[in-house]
Amino acid sequence: MILIVEDDPNISKAIKLALEWEGYSVRSAPNGEIGIQILGSGPLPSLIFLDLMMPIMDGNQFMAELSKNTEYIKIPVVLVTAFTERASELSGNVGIIKKPINLDTLLEYAHKYCA
**pLDDT tens digits, residue range 65-85?**
999 999 999 999 999 988 766
Quote the pLDDT of residue 106.
96
Quote the pLDDT of residue 105.
96
Quote the pLDDT of residue 87.
60
Quote the pLDDT of residue 83.
74
Check the CA dihedral 58-27-46-83 and report its sign: negative
Compute the distance between CA of residue 6 and CA of residue 23 in angstroms, rounded to an integer.
20
Low-confidence ranges of the chain (pLDDT < 70): 84-92
Quote the pLDDT of residue 92.
66
Say if residues 45 and 35 touch (Cβ distance below 8 Å).
no
Question: What's the number of domains the chain is made of?
Answer: 1
In DSSP notation, 68-114 reads T-TTGGGS-EEEEES-HHHHHH-TT-SEEEESSP-HHHHHHHHHHH-
CATH number of 99's domain: 3.40.50.2300
Quote the pLDDT of residue 42.
83
Domain that holds residue 56: 2-113
For the beta sheet containing 47-51, the strands, ordered from the edge strand earlier in sequence to the opposite edge, are 26-29, 2-5, 47-51, 77-81, 95-98
Quote the pLDDT of residue 85.
66
Quote the pLDDT of residue 91.
61
The 8-class DSSP code of residue 43 comes to: P
Burial degree of 1 (CB within 10 A; 0-12, 13-18, 19+): middle
